[in-house]
């Protein structure tokens, strides 16, 4: 379903993604982190809905459509390293920094920090070009 999108995203020199494609890729990344501990909880699902609804000013219908597409894309996307590097090359730094904060919101949504989620978030942050310090600052903002 998303073969052309993934081909564009993982091209050797991807162009900046249009806003709708960037939304889809970043939401799929939120889903990947939520699923990383093999427990995609209702709290995490609800948190992702809340994040994308607020971040992109979506109504309920558009929010559900984006999340549904992102859940499918996440299963079809390449390994996390290639997928995240592709997002880094195609999404502006400010958006990547904001998505790390959103990733922390998802990780903390169910009240536990699973080792798998922590490890994946550290990897993803690094591949998005976000330092460990910036990621820790984002986590602290979320925890407040």
Q: What is the pLDDT of residues 86-117, one digit of tens each?
A: 778 777 888 888 889 999 999 999 888 888 88
Percent of the chain past pLDDT 90, that is, above it, reads: 53
Domain extent listing, the chain: 18-143
For residues 66 and 138, the answer to whether their CB atoms sit within 8 Å is no
pLDDT, position 1: 65
What pLDDT is stored for residue 18 in this prediction?
A: 73
Chain mean pLDDT for the chain = 87
pLDDT at position 69, please? 95
Given a contact cutoff of 8 angstroms between Cβ atoms, the answer to whether 27 and 100 are in contact is no
Query: Is 27 or 13 the better-scoring residue by pLDDT?
Result: 27
- Mean pLDDT, range 64-79, rounded to an integer: 91
Fold of the 18-143 domain: TerB-like (1.10.3680)
End-to-end CA distance of the chain: 39
Residue 19: per-residue pLDDT: 78
| pLDDT of 76 above 70 | yes
What six digits make up the tokens of 58?
């979506």
In the 8-state DSSP scheme, what is residue 31? H
Q: Is the dihedral of CA 57, 142, 108, 26 positive or negative?
A: positive
In this predicted structure, the answer to whether residue 15 has a pLDDT above a threshold of 70 is no
Euclidean distance between CA atoms 3 and 143, whole angstroms: 37
> Are 84 and 127 within 8 A, CB to CB?
yes
pLDDT recorded at residue 12: 67
**Residue 74: other Cβ atoms inside 10 A:** 21
The pLDDT of residue 13 is 65
Q: What is the maximum span of the chain, computed from C-alpha positions, in angstroms?
A: 40
Which pLDDT band, with edges at 50, 70 and 90, does 25 fall under?
A: confident
Instruction: Tell me the CA distances in angstroms from 113 to 2, 7, 44, 52, one per residue in order.
Output: 31, 33, 12, 21
């Amino acid at each position: 379903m998303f073969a052309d999108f993934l081909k564009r995203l993982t091209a050797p020199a991807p162009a900046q993604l249009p806003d709708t494609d960037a939304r889809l890729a970043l939401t799929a990344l939120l889903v990947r982190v939520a699923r990383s501990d093999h427990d995609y909880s209702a709290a995490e699902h609800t948190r992702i809905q809340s994040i994308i609804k607020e971040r992109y000013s979506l109504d309920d219908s558009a929010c559900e459509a984006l999340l549904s597409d992102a859940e499918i894309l996440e299963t079809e996307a390449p390994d996390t390293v290639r997928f995240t590097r592709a997002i880094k090359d195609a999404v502006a730094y400010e958006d990547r920094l904001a998505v790390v904060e959103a990733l922390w919101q998802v990780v903390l949504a169910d009240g536990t920090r699973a080792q798998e989620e922590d490890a994946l978030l550290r990897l993803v942050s690094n591949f998005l070009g976000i330092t460990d310090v910036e990621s820790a600052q984002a986590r602290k903002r979320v925890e407040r």
